A and B are shown apart, each in its own frame.
Chain A
Amino acid sequence: MSIFLAILTYFGYVFVVTMYTVKAVKYLRRPRHLRWDLYPVMHEERYRYGGSYFEEIGGAAGARKKHRLRGILFLLKEYVTMGEYFKRRKDYWLALYPWHIGFILIIAFHIFTFFAAVVMLSGIPVSGDSPFTAGRIFYYVVLFVGVVSFASGIVGSVGVAVKRLTAGDLRDYATPQNYFTYVFCLAVFASGFYAWYFVDPTFSEYRQFWVGLITGKPVTVAPAAVLHIVLFDLFLIYLPFTRSMHYITRIFAFLFIRWDDEPNLRGSRLEAQLVSQLGQRVTWAAPHIKSGGTWADQVES
């Protein structure tokens, strides 16, 4: 059983990372599109009111500073606050927010547990009365993050399901997969909560499980913990088949679509890229199009 559990866990992590990477690479390899800016653009000097370099004489040609960090911080802040939902639809935010916090924290829980296991392997005991500060910190962080994640996820999973079922505009566009996902999430979070509350109140067993994963010597855990681990592994395998990638692609969309205001300067790398794309053949069939010619040919016809 312990070997099966370890293999499933290894597979779950490798699968989700591989699938997300493949999807991300595919997304990023799509050709450079025409500009489709949408303001405010957060890296602009005039971001407070949505201004751009087009407000200056010669602005497009001039060198200018992009405040990339401000843009990144803006995007990260939205993860933590989900501010647009809070601003525009508070009733939905009340369900969505704990649900998403549940996700973020359950990932953080696993990352912290992994590092707690590494710390344990270095000879530092992880517990509430560890003589080492690092041991105590990891103990309390893992405990806090894990419990909050499970509790928040349970509330959120029930909340979003209820909201999807009761709000007409959400229900009408919901798919069976939406509800399946909510139930699946609930099972993952609830099983985690159950395992913590009844079996492993300090997550010591779960840390040992991770030590086993790292050393390649799987350990046996209680059935309640097995259930949660299996469900979580299956959930990792399931994730790439959902729209969950939006956690990552939203960053791409802001950075590479909405805020992509890079001017095409003569002799630039961008220009070379565009010249190459204008050389691609078009097969559109409408009468006004020279089907089979390149994009550049279309313009000359």
Chain B
Amino acid sequence: MKKKVTVEDMARADLQLATLEPSCLMPLPPPYDGPNRIGELTEEQKARYEASLDGVIGVGVQKPQSPAEEEALCRNFLSGLRKLLTKENNWTFLQPLVHSLDYCVKCQLCSDSCPAYLASGKQEIYRPTFRPEVLRRIINKYVKKEGGLLRKLTSSDIELNFTLLARLEELAHRCTLCRRCAQVCPLGIDNALISREIRKLFSQEMGIAAKELHELGTVQQLKVGSSTGITPKALANIIAFMEDDMEEKTGRQIKIPVDKEGADVLLVHNAGEFLAWPENPEAFAILFDAMGIDWTLSSDLVGYDAVNYGIWYDDVQAARVAVRHAQAARRLKVKKIYVGECGHSHKALLVIADRILTGDLNIPRESFLPLMERFVTSGKARLDPSRNAFPVTLHDPCNMVRLMGIVEPQRKILRAICPDFREMTPHGVENYCCGGGSGFAIMQSMNFPDWRNAVSGRMKMKQVIEAFADKPDPGVKKYVCAPCSNCKGLLRDLITYHGAWEKSGIYYGGLVELVVNAMADLKKPYIDWEWH
């Protein structure tokens, strides 16, 4: 029997609010029905960080060393909370935030749309309305300073202390910001946005953020050029390698243009691909070459890494990265920026940055998908679908699909080149997040990857298994197409964690690799099916 957890319990230091026993998790179909355990934290980790939310540490808020330090943390939090509710400090999201705080009627219609809540076996703390209610009560008591009777009438009490604050920050990192909850709300409430705003408050006021997103993410990107640590010099070496690799795979000598001033198009690509999946940017180079596009990469700091982790936790960092991208394009005098296979970069540059970039920084920005669709469906490309005659399913990255409305181009491509394409259920704008959204795919803190693979990615794993249920034989190789770098990273982890390559022959990759694989004039297949 699960413990009944209430919002007030957030401040109680004497109990852990959720225990993720394997038997509580949403079941997966056989042969994936074995127990999925989440690693225990060490005593040292527990002593150093607040971990009593669910026994998992994603951010790792350090425990204060003295009552004075705890008091300062609470004071700073309240100072940030007040700023979050002002138009000067938060014009960026004030209207949607206040709407969601003021008008949620807690009808819980959103609960069953949340994959983390469902996959966890409906742990109360993951309910989409839980964390907003914590924030709402803090605002009522400490910011609006509602008096005793009014507070009792309109909400229940809450105590602000370190335990609550640390748990709240962790809890804001148990939501992938997929916004499925918002999609079903008839009142337009967006509980995912509240998760984001909590993260923002901690980052912008208190300097507390997930290390992989801030220190190793945006800070490193702005300083070194990429959150991967790739410097412009290293980029040159990687590009030389990719050119050799393409020649070996295709027999063609294809040049990857860098810093070509006056090119029509600047391609910004997730730099993680250069390291983990070079076949993806190589496929872009092969296809752009086949299309005759006048394109270039940039070697400017930030210009060669499309990622923008700021959109998940910090408006200022998001703006800084977006401006650097636009500055790189302006310097090269390109007509347009294309964003490669990276979901959050799509949203960052095409949607979020759209109200940050003004004047000559407001350079046209587009997704690569319509262009690729036109290439594949125009009939000009010599494509042989029989080269992709294996089962293929499509993962819809939330950022591109539900949050941008790019739904059909990728499907038209797959229908044209993959004879055994099958949809997941549900799909399109109702898709489930891969489980790695909002930075989870790159957060590697302590036992957080276990939580991600067992809980936030569980629904996606279930969908993938079900999409290929008619062909369980591991000898039949299957392809999960994920046109997003972070989703791909999470799928890699999910397939590894659940042993899906060995059990069912499930592989993953991008979209452009499938297009190149179908090119009739290539002598050998482009997809190598080597698990790595």
Contacts and interface: CB of A to CB of B under 8 A. Distances in A.
Interface stretch (A26-34, A192-200, A218-226): A26-34
Given A37-B351, A60-B364, A264-B358, A243 B103 contact: yes
A297 to B, nearest CB: 10
Given A243-B103, A287-B207, A60 B405 contact: no
A210 to B, nearest CB: 32
Contacts of B364: 58, 60-61
Contact of A84 (B184, B358, B409): B184
A245 interface: yes
Contact of A249 (B99, B112, B129, B206): B99
Interface in A12-41: 27, 30-41
B445 to A, nearest CB: 20
Interface in B191-224: 193, 203-207, 214, 219
Contacts of B403: 37-39
B92 A266 contact: no
A278 B358 contact: yes
Interface in B387-405: 401-405
A50 B184 contact: no
A177 B183 contact: no
Contact of B370 (A59, A175, A289): A59
Nearest to A61: B364
Given A175-B155, A252-B99, A35 B354 contact: yes
B95 A31 contact: yes
Contact of A51 (B179, B351, B405): B405
A249 B189 CA distance: 10
B133 A85 contact: no
Range for the number of chain A residues in contact with chain B: 35 or more
Contacts of A49: 407-408, 428-429
A257 B355 contact: no
B78 interface: no
B356 interface: yes
Interface stretch (A104-112, A113-121, A166-174): A166-174
Contacts of A51: 405-408
A39 B429 contact: yes
A266 to B, nearest CB: 5
Interface in A61-109: 61, 78, 82-85, 88-89, 92, 96
A235 interface: no
A81 B256 CA distance: 56
A271 B358 contact: yes
B186 interface: yes
B116 interface: no
A55 B153 contact: no
Given A175-B154, A243-B102, A256 B95 contact: yes
Interface string A262-295: 0111100011001101101111111111000001
B113 to A, nearest CB: 8
B80 interface: yes
Nearest to B88: A280
A288 B316 contact: yes
B6 to A, nearest CB: 6
A170 B203 CA distance: 33
Range for the number of chain B residues in contact with chain A: 35 or more
Given A52-B404, A169-B108, A281-B88, A36 B190 contact: yes
B352 A169 contact: no
Interface stretch (B44-52, B244-252, B317-325, B513-521): B317-325
A299 B320 contact: yes
A132 interface: no
B404 A39 contact: yes
A32 B99 contact: no
B191 to A, nearest CB: 12
Interface in B338-391: 350-352, 354-359, 362, 364-367, 369-371, 374
B74 to A, nearest CB: 14
A123 to B, nearest CB: 45
A1 interface: no
B109 A85 contact: yes
A170 B107 contact: yes
Interface string A135-165: 0000000000000000000000000000000
A254 to B, nearest CB: 5
Nearest to B367: A54
A72 B89 CA distance: 32
B98 interface: yes
Interface string B48-73: 00000000000000000000000000
Contacts of A35: 351-352, 354-355
Contacts of B315: 34
Interface of A: 27, 30-41, 44, 46, 49-61, 78, 82-85, 88-89, 92, 96, 169-170, 172-177, 180, 243, 245-246, 249-250, 252-254, 256-258, 263-266, 270-271, 274-275, 277-278, 280-289, 295, 298-299
Given A252-B188, A287-B207, 12 more contacts: A31-B87, A38-B403, A57-B366, A89-B108, A176-B152, A180-B153, A249-B99, A249-B187, A249-B188, A257-B188, A286-B207, A288-B317
5 contacts: A50-B428, A52-B405, A85-B107, A246-B105, A250-B186
Interchain residue pairs A-B with the least CB separation, the first 10: A52-B405, A253-B188, A50-B429, A31-B91, A173-B106, A286-B207, A284-B204, A39-B405, A30-B95, A84-B186
